[in-house]
Structure 1
Amino acid sequence: MKTDSIFYRIFKTDPGILFELLGQSPEAAQGYEFKSVEIKQVAFRLDGVFLPTPEAVDQTVWFVEVQFQRDPVFYQRFFSEIYLYLNLHPDTIDWQAVVIYPKRSIEPDYPHVFRANLNSDQVHRVYLEDLEEAVDSLGVGLMQLIVADSAKTVTQAQALLSRAQSQEQTNPRFAAIMELIETIVVYKFPQLSREEIESMLGLSELKQTKVYQEALNEGEQTGEARLVLRQLTRRIGDVAPELRSQIQALSLDQIESLGEALLDFSEPADLVQWLRGNRSE
């Protein structure tokens, strides 16, 4: 199973899950974007980096690595990538690092030379085998599903779906969690078709519910708003927080219209004028 890509997709969908794993509030993820960062000079790539947005109060950069294969020189590579990034970004205010292992036996023996890093409060190691079986967090439940035995996968997936449905999350996260559960099961049962898995988990009926459809539509709207905001930043510079809020409140049709209109923008005043003429009712 391509565990790395699934983990990074989870963090992309819901960054708060990382902080839940560390015993912190998922609200700590507000103001972060999860990205892959390439260190071009040496052809290194940091697969998981939580980069703070310019307006975020906390400007700490979080480096995240998922390590499911034993690698005796893992720490040499990991810390090299981090310090190369810091060298190329001297304006970095602070940093934290998280390594996620399925179990303790995967972690390589680390030499004395790394004691300053591994014993500091900047480096966190998470062992999924240590997670409590009964948790209220859907995000942590996804982590448990990834490392579950095949015999328990379907039962755990159904329990997660039931928990998500009972919480009636009428927001993008509900639809995203369902899609992630399905993706994990697809990877764990490659011999089954997606239709067979949907039938096995009862997803076909669940996807027809009003709650799912509303969440799916809102998720699409949120994704489009993020894309337009990135385009606006490139076009007219940083978008003020109050304007960001107005954009996020637009309907999907309005966001699509803004995506076309912004091609003619040259300054923030153009955005302000467009929003005044296209307020949501």
Structure 2
Amino acid sequence: MSEAAESIFSLVKASEGGAPLYLQLKKNIEDAVQRGVIGPGDALPSERDIAIKADISRVTVRKAVQDLVKSGILVQRHGSGTFVAPRMERVEQSLSRLTSFTDDMARRGMSASSVWLDKGIYPPSPDEIMILGLSAKELVARVSRLRIANETPMAIERASLSLAALPDPEAVGSSLYSTLDKTGSRPARAVQRISAVNLVGADARLLEVPEGSACLHIERISYLASGKVIEFTRSIYRGDAYDFVAELRLAGPGEESGGTT
């Protein structure tokens, strides 16, 4: 970190009747980010180093940093340290097309990648039995991955399929749909349900956002052209990164309307 950037930590001074020290430090860091003195991805010094530089306690430093993490200005990565959060470019996702994450990002000129979290065969849950039409004695294939765009975690996808559709989850490479294509099991259409939830635990850490952050939970049931259910997916999308867009048309005579006028 440059000398100019480090100087933001030496500006905290106790003043009678002034703001608490942690708020002074918090404001110094916020101002530095806004002015570009420290930019996205830059690492902050350790709490100990900041405390020594600013001549304040580590408890004060920790409180300022935690507030900035909660507000999304900083991110903490376990075992790595504290960094200025990347600037998020919001992604506008159409709800009228069934496309892959990789294709969506490519159309926006963004580099897409994935980290596999799980590929395995398991006893089905009650939801998987009901939605995929399985018996209690059948097993289910599950594949889960963290979706990344331009090195920023964007979503967690957890897909469940029957073994008839995906007998070997380990065979899935970069694209699940490409694998399903080979067996004639690629979905033709899907129905999605979107709800707002707050991230907790491991999902928050995977997406590098504070616990309690708003996100979009999406359940998608995908169908073959024949109408058979082929895939049940539950996904978590960052609320600060995605806008889902749907085109609405006025219902014609005799058609059901989805809203009021």
TM range (shorter): under 0.3
Which of the pair is proportionally richer in strand?
2
Which of the pair is proportionally richer in helix?
1
Higher relative contact order (CA 8 A, sep 6+): 2
Which structure has the greater CA radius of gyration?
Answer: 2
Q: Normalization by structure 1: what TM-score? A: 0.19
Q: Normalization by structure 2: what TM-score? A: 0.20
